């Protein structure tokens, strides 16, 4: 009995060593490749729907890849990239010159790529008196100047943001308000749900959300938002024609509140982050962007087969 136990013990010790020697076990230290390994991507909250789609499809195509997505504010994403707690981030602007200099001074040289064109959407209650707004009126609203007509006493003059999407606040401050702080009527709420509820219950107030949150008309989550609030048309001037945010108007530039979506990778290393970036900017990734109502940066070409056989043959 004792001899048998010794034999079993020897077999239990030798077989794993034999398998390992022959290379039959999985090497846990295997180097990451553009189609395998693990990657955590930090994205702006407003880009959740499009990034979910991209990462899900990539993992289905490349079974050895694991991509986790976390949705944070723009500043949190950039900070994580700098501290190396994220290798790839997706936000609605490139790095500023000051940010680039800070990265470079620490021997970090991020790879930056525009992957789509998007926009900023203004929403209001169906009870609000106006369905359009000019850029001039929007800038007045940032300074708390009333843009309301007859029913101004019953109508709010608030401009509300989603607290999680702080990039929108910075855009309005830097691009529309000459870098000055927004007035007291401009403030952020706890999340998208709270923002929508506020807009519905305060006619005249305007909510600010990312276009990617309503762009995909095949997604029930987008449709639920559109059922609850009105999307405002935006004109470049008071006398000009107002345009709604959609794929066509963003592409042509007729819609004034347009911006790009940027993917930023911490380094140039040949990693899963590089593979995912190439995928999103490639044919499949860009087609998915278009299907979700976004404007592709690299518009996929179409293959057309022409039959040159003479008629009757």
Average pLDDT over residues 196-216: 96
Residue 71 predicted with pLDDT over 50: yes
Residue 40 predicted with pLDDT over 80: yes
| CATH architecture, domain defined by 118-258 | 3-Layer(aba) Sandwich (3.40)
Residue 270 predicted with pLDDT over 80: yes
Instruction: Measure Cα distances from 123 to 86, 126, 161, 259 in Å.
Output: 33, 9, 11, 17
Q: Do domains 37-117+260-296 and 118-258 have the same CATH topology?
A: yes
Confidence band for 306, pLDDT divided at 50, 70 and 90: low
Q: For residue range 249-266, what is the model confidence (pLDDT) as tens digits?
A: 999 999 999 999 999 999
Terminal-residue alpha carbon distance, the chain: 85
Residue 206 predicted with pLDDT over 80: yes
183 — phi, psi (to 5°)? -75, 175
pLDDT (0 to 100) of residue 147: 65
**Residue ranges covered by each domain of the chain:** 37-117+260-296, 118-258
Cα separation, 225 vs 123, in Å, equals 10
Cα separation, 231 vs 252, in Å, equals 19
Instruction: Measure Cα distances from 283 to 185, 222, 232, 297, 301 in Å.
Output: 44, 24, 32, 11, 8
Cα separation, 221 vs 209, in Å, equals 14
Strands 295-296 and 111-124: antiparallel
Residue 235 predicted with pLDDT over 70: yes
Q: Give burial (CB, 10 Å; 0-12/13-18/19+) of 305.
A: exposed
Q: Are 298 and 286 in contact (CB under 8 A)?
A: yes
Confidence band for 208, pLDDT divided at 50, 70 and 90: very high
**CB-side neighbour CA atoms (13 Å) of 195:** 25
% of the chain beyond a pLDDT of 70: 83
Cα separation, 287 vs 300, in Å, equals 7
The mean-pLDDT minimum among 58-62, 149-153, 214-218 falls in 149-153
Q: For residue range 9-39, what is the model confidence (pLDDT) as tens digits?
A: 333 333 333 333 333 334 444 578 999 999 9
* Average pLDDT taken over every residue of the chain: 86
Residue 305 predicted with pLDDT over 90: no
pLDDT (0 to 100) of residue 269: 87
Higher pLDDT, 22 or 163: 163
Q: Are 296 and 309 in contact (CB under 8 A)?
A: no
Average pLDDT over residues 214-230: 96
Q: For residue range 101-134, what is the model confidence (pLDDT) as tens digits?
A: 999 999 999 999 999 999 999 999 999 988 999 9
CATH number for the domain whose boundaries are 37-117+260-296: 3.40.190.10
pLDDT (0 to 100) of residue 148: 59
């Amino acid at each position: 009995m004792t001899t048998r136990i010794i034999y079993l013990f020897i077999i239990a010790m030798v077989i794993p060593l034999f398998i390992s020697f022959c290379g039959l076990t999985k090497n846990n230290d295997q180097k990451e490749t553009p189609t395998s390994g693990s990657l955590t991507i930090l994205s702006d909250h407003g880009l959740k729907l499009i990034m979910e789609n991209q990462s899900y499809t990539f993992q289905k195509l490349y079974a050895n890849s694991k991509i986790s997505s976390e949705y944070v504010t723009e500043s949190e994403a950039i900070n994580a990239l700098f501290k190396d707690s994220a290798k790839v981030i997706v936000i609605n602007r490139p790095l500023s010159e000051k940010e680039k200099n800070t990265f470079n001074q620490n021997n970090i040289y991020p790879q930056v790529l525009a992957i789509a064109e998007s926009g900023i959407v203004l929403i209001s209650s169906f009870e609000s008196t106006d369905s359009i707004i000019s850029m001039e009126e929007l800038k007045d609203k940032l300074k708390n100047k009333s843009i309301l007509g007859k029913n101004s006493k019953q109508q709010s003059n608030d401009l509300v943001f989603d607290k999680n999407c702080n990039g929108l606040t910075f855009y309005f401050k830097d691009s529309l308000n000459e870098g000055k702080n927004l007035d007291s009527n401009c403030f952020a709420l706890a999340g998208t749900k709270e923002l929508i509820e506020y807009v519905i219950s305060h006619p005249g107030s305007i909510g600010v959300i990312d276009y990617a949150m309503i762009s995909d008309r095949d997604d029930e989550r987008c449709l639920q938002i559109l059922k609850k609030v009105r999307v405002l048309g935006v004109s470049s001037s008071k006398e000009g024609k107002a345009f709604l945010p959609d794929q066509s108007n963003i592409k042509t530039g007729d819609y004034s509140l347009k911006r790009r979506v940027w993917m930023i990778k911490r380094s140039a290393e040949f990693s899963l982050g590089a593979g995912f970036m190439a995928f999103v900017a490639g044919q499949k990734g860009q087609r998915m962007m278009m299907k979700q109502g976004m404007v592709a940066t690299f518009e996929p070409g179409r293959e057309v087969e022409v039959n040159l056989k003479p008629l009757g043959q």
